Amino acid sequence: MNDAALSRPASADALNVAQLRGDFPVLGRQVRGKPLIYMDSAATALTPTPVLDAMQYYYTHCNANVHRAVHSMGEEATALYEKAREAVRGFINAASTREIVFTRGTTEAVNLVAQSYARPRLGPGDEVLVSQMEHHSNLVPWQLVCEQTGATLRVIPMTPEGELDLAQFEDRLGPRVKLMALVHVSNALGTINPVRQMIQRAHARDIPVLLDGAQGVPHGPVDVQALDCDFYAFSGHKLFGPTGIGTLFAKEALLEAMPPYHGGGEMIRTVTLEKSTWNELPYKFEAGTPNIAGAIGLGAAVEYVSRIGMDAIAAHEQHLLAEGTRRLQDVKGLRMIGTARHKASVLSFVVEGVHPHDLGTILDHDGIAIRTGHHCAMPVMAYFKVPATARASLSFYNTPEEIGHLAEAVERAKSVLS
């Protein structure tokens, strides 16, 4: 897969956005008497009716536990749960469902790798390589495991445009690096990192790579075999699915060699008072009753966006990104934070003399929902010397007209607040 595929220009085959918006019931509501304009999809994407229907079907037709019953409802629930796993496998082109572990989300997936894969293999003098633009979820777990093992955390710096410094990256790929953990798409900047190239460079030195794909999978096609990453983590609620569910992809040989992360029911093969043996993959890493409805909802979300087409979604979002960049740059005193050449549909900015939290509050009175704060990326804020940014994160259900309303509302807010 070409990393630039997530940032390709708009195609001639436009989405029927008006029709697709009808799939999202919450878009019919009003906020403070104004039609909702939702621009906070990087935090949580909206949930379409097919996902809600799939979860409701589980609860109203086969509300039973999975893998443990011979009765009909249990078998039906298990079939839906494993159908969702296959849907996720196909969506990211994993080689086998044995490589698809359901987790609570990206955060748990990264922690699983940090504790089950990295911790037993790290020691004093070893290094874990991350980037300066990581979300806290792909930074704090590595800080913890380095404290636990005596390893050192090394950082790939970025440029003023919000791109990774690839020359510095090469310098940091030393013989002590035992793992690289890298964000695919920055949630705070929208930067699409050249992960395929970076994986190739790391693998040339036998360094395994984990990708934080929370912001990668919603914006374009992802093929883990083409990327050749060793681990890929993402969350359901960023991908138009429910909260509390996510996925860890990991190459089968790595999962086989890793000890369980959690202990309990389902992840065992045999248990005595003295010792237990483990279940086959991927169940070795899915202790306890899973989020069954969440997994079914995630499977429905994957099927939903696949029907739309990830290439078409990426093209539409790039059109929105270009329009939003153009309109916001016309606002006097507005500074874009993150101007990488390859970006997903994230518009992060500050306005001179206006605190982002105040800006977000004023926009909410116009029915516009954006995110303000450090976006769980405090090192990014420190690099750009700002306490926070305003972030409008767009999805395929947004329109150019909404972009216009955003720019006009920012202008009005600036005149009021400054």
Question: Mind telling me the catalytic residues?
Answer: 376
Report which secondary-structure segment, H or E, holds 108: helix 106-112
CB neighbour list of residue 220: distance below 8 Å, 6 or more residues apart: 5, 6, 7, 8, 310, 311, 313, 314, 344
Secondary structure class of 399 (helix, strand, coil): coil
AA letter at 232:
Y
Single-letter amino acid code for the residue at 76: E
Q: Are 374 and 133 in contact (CB under 8 A)?
A: no
CA distance 202 to 206: 6
Burial degree of 157 (CB within 10 A; 0-12, 13-18, 19+) = middle
Q: Of 1, 7, 4, 68, nearest to 314 (Cα)?
A: 7
Evaluate whether 305 touches 313 at the Cβ level (below 8 Å).
yes
What gap in Å lies between CA 342 and CA 190, rounded to an integer?
A: 8
Residue 293 corresponds to which amino acid?
A
Assess contact for 350 and 390: CB atoms under 8 A.
Answer: yes
Largest CA distance in the chain: 71
State phi, psi for 225 to the nearest 5 degrees.
-75, -40
d(CA 294, CA 236): 8
Name the packing angle between helices 310-329 and 292-308 (round to 10°).
Answer: 80
212/157 Cα distance (integer angstroms): 17
CB 297 within 8 A of CB 54: yes
Q: What is the residue type of 339?
A: T
Which residues, in sequence order, are CB contacts of 392 under 8 Å at separation 6+? Answer: 39, 40, 324, 346, 347, 370, 406
CB-neighbour burial class of residue 2 (10 A; exposed 0-12, middle 13-18, buried 19+): exposed
Token pair in block for residue 337: 């934070």
Tokens 């777990």 appear where? Answer: 141
